Structure 1
Amino acid sequence: MDLRQIRYFVAACEEGSLSAAAVRLNCTAPGVSQQMTALEGRLGTSLFERTPRGVTPTPAGRRFYDRCLAVLKAVSEAEIEIEDFKAGLCGSVSAGFAPGVAKAILPQALARFTREFPRVDLEISSGSADALVSATSSGTLDFFVGQFAKAHIGLSANPIGRYPVALISGVRRGFMPMKPLRLDSVAPLKLVLPSAANSLRPKIEEAIQGGAIAVERTILMDNLPAGLEFVSQTDWSWILPYWLCLKELGNERVTVNPIVDPTLRVDVALIFPAQRPLSRPSQLLYDYFCQELQRTESEWQRIMAGALSSS
């Protein structure tokens, strides 16, 4: 057994297809098939159930997959350690961030990182959770910070935290800025809803169905800049994470209101390939991001405390 067989096996498990594994590894499908047959012969057991649609690990294959991940992670850690030792902190980071945190949190973390580590090349992506999770799974991204709607084979998700949200409305709606609101006791809202991939969406819908949020009309919106501009020109409202609300406090065309009830939170996680740990540059960029996230949360809590004490 060699590392090539282990890499082929892990790719086949995660892709669910020998041909897809071949594309991912830039080799031929017959080559992958031959190596998997040889590996099963060496181990004396079947690792895959083969169907016309692809392959799925057998119980033995799933157990072997976990062991292979540990091997690949150990090899990757050793390579990273040697690279850092030889060259100091350099290299590259390719990371994805959900649009909200990319707009409100990431710039400050990036400014610090690029100033302190000029030898590290950066490639930053933002977009839908599905697209960024897929890019992380394929290895295009080193990690993704955002929402993780469902388990994805080959990826690890470390929860970062659960964070408060607030209501942003056009000034035509008539809310007093920063007045805490109970959404079941205000006149029905015209409410912008996030896409189904957003972890906040089912929580909002559950609150609407349970009567905790009164709504007159809803609209689905995925584009953050367009949605904020739409709200600012109308009497519509949007429930958004606190970090976006902070950015809009100086916008005279909208009002921001803390939500007292219902209690809603948005989940954020670090998502990365299970077989490959974060490189030192990636880890540092992630650490700087988390520090900025913590700083803005403390600022929001301070503003919230003042709003609640004066209400």
Structure 2
Amino acid sequence: MDLKQIQYFIALFEDGSVTRAAKRLNIVQPALSMQISKLEAELNQPLFERGPHGMTPTDAARLMYRLYVPIIRDIDHAREQLSSTDVIVTGRVSLGMVASEAESVLPESLATFNALFPQVEVSVADGFSAQLIDAVEAGRLDAAVINKPRGRLTLDTRALLDEEMVLVVSATHGRVLPDEIDLSRLGDLELVLPTRRNGLRGALDAALLNADIVIKPKFEIDLLTTIVQFVEQSSVATIMPRVVVQRKVDDGVLRIHRIANPVIVRQIVCVSHPKRPLGSAASALIDIITEDIRRVTTAP
């Protein structure tokens, strides 16, 4: 087993097709198939099941992918650092993001990044903070932008920004409320909130617990886009980071109200593996995303 075979295997595993993987690797299909066959013969077990809809990885292939992806990332990072004097930055960045950020600033951030680093490939996955932490620990992601968890982490953690959460109502159907509302008054409203699996709910529950206030939402939904659309079309309110709803506020579709006594703040952090330092491209992408979030959340 050599490095080239491992790279071929990873490409086929991720693409699920010999045609797509060969194109990604810039090689002919027979060469890829031959190397995979050699790898299977060396391991004495099949790695893929060939079918009409592509290549389905076996359990052995899934285990091999989990074991070798971190190694390949380490090699790529080492290569990038050793060639850091090159004018053109190349490589691949694999980033995780909580949905509240991925659905808001990510498209604009990627456009900015692509203009600065056109030779760098980017892969972005969304999910709950706990899922993204696991992916960073396992080496499937270089880093993740998440809600700061309550427990202590073994990963390197970099604070990005504190983001105030606001009360959101429909501009058409929502109740008329003062610009600033006390946390204790939220119990008077019909609310739709993320479930307790979501880090946004964790920030809210922590604030309620500290203030000794109990709120029972009428609806609990994890899809943030669905929550926003539901609020837009009804008299139900929600509590969200401003970045999630700012565009609809600017369009006059939603209204936001500041929550006081106390203010609800969620902390955004970036986590990465201490044994796999981030390359310049990954660090630049995280900086761009952070700046875009800060710009949106501090807009007048």
TM-score normalised per structure 1: 0.65
Cα 1:90–1:231, aligned 2, differ >3 Å: closer, same or farther? same
Compared with structure 1, are the counterparts of its residues 231 and 276 closer, same or farther at alpha carbon in structure 2 (3 Å cutoff)?
same
Q: Following TM superposition, by how much is the alpha carbon of 1:88 offset from its aligned partner in structure 2, in angstroms? A: 2.9
Deviation at 1:130? 2.3
Change (3 A) 1:291 1:203: closer
Q: Which runs of 5+ in 1 are unaligned?
A: 1-19, 27-73, 304-311
* Equivalent position of 2:261 in the other structure: 261
Instruction: Show the counterpart of 2:27.
Output: none
The amino acid of 1:25's aligned partner reads: L
Report deviation, 1:209. Answer: 5.9
Partner of 2:99: 99
- Structure 2 match to 1:13: none
Question: What is the alpha-carbon distance in structure 1 between the residues aligned to residue 90 and residue 76 of structure 2?
Answer: 17
Task: State the distance in 1 between where 2:78 and 2:186 align.
Answer: 58
User: In structure 2, do the counterparts of structure 1 residues 139 and 107 end up closer, same or farther at CA, with 3 Å as the change threshold?
Assistant: same
Instruction: Quote how far apart the aligned CAs of 1:101 are.
Output: 1.1
Mapping of 1:145-156 within 5 angstroms?
145-149=145-149, 150-153=151-154, 155-156=155-156
Distance 1:216 1:133 in 2: 29
Give the letter for the 1:173 counterpart.
G
Whether 1:25 aligns to 2:26 is no
| 1:98-132 deviation line (CA, Å, top 9, x unaligned) | 11111222222211111122111111111222222
Query: What's the counterpart of residue 174 of structure 2?
Result: 173
Instruction: State the 1:81 CA deviation.
Output: 1.8
Matching residue's letter, 1:182: D
Shift of 1:144: 0.4
- How many residues align structurally? 233
Q: Counterparts of 1:1-311 in structure 2 under 5 Å?
A: 24-26=66-68, 79-85=79-85, 88-149=88-149, 150-153=151-154, 155-170=155-170, 171-176=172-177, 179-185=179-185, 188-205=188-205, 207-208=207-208, 215=215, 217-299=217-299, 303=300
Percent pairwise identity? 22
Partner AA of 1:83 in structure 2:
S
CA change 1:204–1:291 in 2 (3 A) is: closer
Contact 1:232 1:253 in 2 (8 A): yes
- Greater Cα offset, 221-230 or 86-95: 86-95
Cα deviation for residue 145 of structure 1 reads 0.4
RMSD: 3.1
* CA distance in structure 2 between the aligned counterparts of 1:211 and 1:284, rounded to whole angstroms: 38
Q: Distance in 2 between matches of 1:107 and 1:175?
A: 33
